[in-house]
A and B are shown apart, each in its own frame.
Chain A
Amino acid sequence: ETGVTQTPRHLVMGMTNKKSLKCEQHLGHNAMYWYKQSAKKPLELMFVYSLEERVENNSVPSRFSPECPNSSHLFLHLHTLQPEDSALYLCASSWGLAGGGETQYFGPGTRLLVL
């Protein structure tokens, strides 16, 4: 059973809207991640936080802004998005950093549609 929750599960927004995605992990993990999952593309890592410090930012447009107020919560703030940003946004957490082979636990995702 996943200990990672995400809200909302579905979101429809216009290109001029501002919205936020929320992720919460109940596993006591130190690292948290945002991924983007689009059809016909591999999972794309967007942001990585370890002990509340951002350790990776994979050239993500500035219209996506992450926030990690503590080790249990992760937000993704969205503003002036484009239709091509429509995708499933997945949050994950792990004890250590995933590049070291750590198991990641994923949330159910937020299905985002930008009109």
Chain B
Amino acid sequence: TQLLEQSPQFLSIQEGENLTVYCNSSSVFSSLQWYRQEPGEGPVLLVTVVTGGEVKKLKRLTFQFGDARKDSSLHITAAQPGDTGLYLCAGAAIRGSQGNLIFGKGTKLSVKP
């Protein structure tokens, strides 16, 4: 069974701090996606990484896909209260069901003003 382990599960920080969220697996993925989910809403896609070693930046968010395509990280610089939410990573298996993304349990981030 493929699993994606996210860490930490919970993170509470002050505005202006930096943080990193990790997504790890023993399986190789063809691509990996990061979503943010706010209370009362569904997840919204932030980024998709496809190539091993790829780094993508989205304003203060930096996403990295591991060289072996088994892990990924999300780094937020100078966090703001608007970054508060549940961050989910999801991997597309190389050999697996075409309909299935494997999701991590998520990291719940709280940024206090």
In the complex, what's the smallest C-beta–C-beta distance from B20 to chain A, in angstroms?
20
Interface string of B93-107 (1 = CB under 8 A from A): 100111111111110
Interface string of A44-86 (1 = CB under 8 A from B): 0100101000011010000000000000000000000000000
Total chain B interface residues with beta-carbon distance under 8 A: 28
Q: How far is the CA of A90 from the CA of B103 in the complex (A)?
A: 14
Confirm or deny: B50 has a beta carbon within 8 angstroms of a beta carbon on chain A.
Answer: yes
Stretch at the interface among B40-48, B55-63, B71-79: B40-48
Assuming A90-B42, A92-B42, A109-B41, is B99 touching A42 (CB within 8 A)?
no
Interface string of A34-48 (1 = CB under 8 A from B): 000000111101001
Q: How far is the CA of A48 from the CA of B35 in the complex (A)?
A: 19
Interface string of B69-93 (1 = CB under 8 A from A): 0000000000000000000101011
A-B contact pairs, 13 of them (CB 8 A): A4-B42, A33-B99, A42-B105, A48-B99, A48-B100, A56-B99, A56-B100, A97-B98, A98-B99, A99-B99, A100-B92, A101-B48, A103-B33
Interface residues of B (CB under 8 A from A): 4, 30-31, 33, 35, 40-45, 48, 50, 88, 90, 92-93, 96-106
Question: 8 other contacts beyond A104-B101, A108-B41, with CB at 8 A cut-off?
Answer: A40-B105, A48-B99, A101-B48, A101-B92, A103-B45, A104-B45, A106-B44, A108-B42
